Amino acid sequence: MSTSSSSRGEYWFSLLTEGADQRQGQCASIRVADAELEGQPVRFIAVVPDANNHYPRAARGEVGLLEGWTLAQVVSEAVAADVDKAQKRAIVAVIDVPSQAYGRREEAFGIHQALAGAAGAYAKARLAGHPVIGLIVGKAMSGAFLAHGYQANRLIAFNDAGVMIHAMGKESAARITLRSVEALEKLAATIPPMAYDIEHYSSLGLLEQLLDIRDPLQASEQELNLVRHSVVQAIAKTRSEGVGLTNRLGADNRHSSSLVRERMRAEW
């Protein structure tokens, strides 16, 4: 299956929302649609490239000022609309974000507040009973991922070399640690939280599922159905198991995280 797109996020948003009602009026870098999956309402949200972005630092799919506040708006809008409903709609964040937007204007105008607003809106939606699912189809980097997707009840990712989840890019991490990129990669291979590949990340217990997609920009009908089914399963599991994030702490590589939490609870 093919569709005109400039990013993995835009491609998968288009596939998953074909024929759905597209929300209009927000900035062009945020795509929003209200659709159905197996008879239940879902709001899909994606951050996509916008070459004409008012802020050039956010033109390639980065999450900047406009994106942060708009994400907060469209998530909060769904929460307000469903406040009196017994069953809240699911919210699916289609994630392909290379970075937060770095720039003097972004810093001066408070990008930290914009991204915090987005993360806070997703957290409030989750705690209000909306199943929040993150579908990682490309990069999920730095503050962009914190703002768009990391607050999800369940994270699903493609098992693909183009999927990368990390606090910062390799070049930046190499500069900060005073290493070459090659030396950083060698070190990261022995320390899962530092690694850039999706297999190491999955060992941290943060992912609900890894999906094998042959070509993420040329999905087959069977692969699209696999993704849909996985999202539906994640929604159902979230509804049955509650709004918390304790499901992320069960992996062997999260033992220390669990221990720290236990000791903090004991102290407090």
Q: What is the pLDDT of residues 169-183, one digit of tens each?
A: 888 888 888 999 999
The pTM of this model reads 0.93
Tell me what the mean pLDDT of segment 155-172 comes to.
90
Residue 222 has a pLDDT of 97
Which pair of structure tokens corresponds to residue 15? 């596939």
What residue ranges do the domains of the chain occupy? 8-267
Tell me what the mean pLDDT of segment 62-81 comes to.
98
**In the predicted structure, residue 2 carries a pLDDT above the cut 60:** no
150 confidence band (pLDDT: 50, 70, 90)? very high
Q: How far apart are CA 45 and CA 92, in angstroms?
A: 6
Who's near 40: CB < 8 A, 6+ residues apart?
87, 89, 90, 232, 235
Instruction: List, for residues 75-128, the tens digit of each pLDDT value.
Output: 999 999 999 999 999 999 999 999 999 999 999 999 999 999 999 999 999 999
Neighbour tally for 44: CB within 10 Å = 26
CATH of 8-267, one of 3.90.226.10, 3.40.640.10, 3.30.70.270, 3.40.50.300: 3.90.226.10
Q: How far apart are CA 16 and CA 196, in angstroms?
A: 27
Q: Which of 123-137, 176-190, 254-268 has the highest mean pLDDT?
A: 123-137
Residue 226 has a pLDDT of 98
Q: How far apart are CA 93 and CA 262, in angstroms?
A: 31
Instruction: List, for residues 51-61, the tens digit of each pLDDT value.
Output: 999 999 999 99
Q: How far apart are CA 211 and CA 222, in angstroms?
A: 12
3 confidence band (pLDDT: 50, 70, 90)? low
Higher pLDDT, 168 or 113: 113
Compute CA distances 72 → 57, 65, 125, 153, 224, whole Å. 20, 11, 10, 17, 28
